[in-house]
Amino acid sequence: MALNDLANEARQQGFAIDDATEYQLVDNVLALVQDVNGEVKSVAVKTLATLVPFVAPARIQTIIDRLVHFTASKDEGVRDIASLGLKMVVANIAPDSPLASTCCTKLAPEVVKQLADPSSSAELVLDSLDLVSDVLSRFESTVRTLPALQQSVLKAATPLLSHGRAAVRKRTVATLAVLVPSAHSPALLDSLLDSTVLPSLQAAAADDDDRLRTSISLVGALARSAPAQVGPKAAALVPLVLRGADRADDEGKEGVLQCLEAFVLRCPHDAAP
Measured CA distances, 74 to 34, 79, 123 (Å):
12, 7, 11
What local confidence, expressed as pLDDT, does residue 220 receive? 97
Distance CA 128, CA 85 (A): 12
Task: Extract the residue ranges of the chain whose pLDDT is less than 70.
Answer: 1, 204-207
Q: Give the model's pLDDT for residue 17.
A: 86
pLDDT at position 206:
59
CA distance 63 to 102: 12
Q: Is 251 exposed, middle or buried (0-12, 13-18, 19+ CB in 10 A)?
A: exposed
Is 90 within 8 Å of 135 (Cβ atoms)? yes
Q: What is residue 207's predicted lDDT score, i.e. its pLDDT? A: 62
Sign of CA dihedral 90, 94, 95, 96: negative
pLDDT at 248: 78
Q: What is the pLDDT of residue 36?
A: 86
The span from the CA of 211 to the CA of 73, in Å, is: 31
Say if CB 107 and CB 64 are below 8 A apart. Answer: yes
Angle, vertex CA 153, rays to CA 152 and CA 154, nearest 5: 90
* Contact between 40 and 48 (Cβ < 8 Å): no
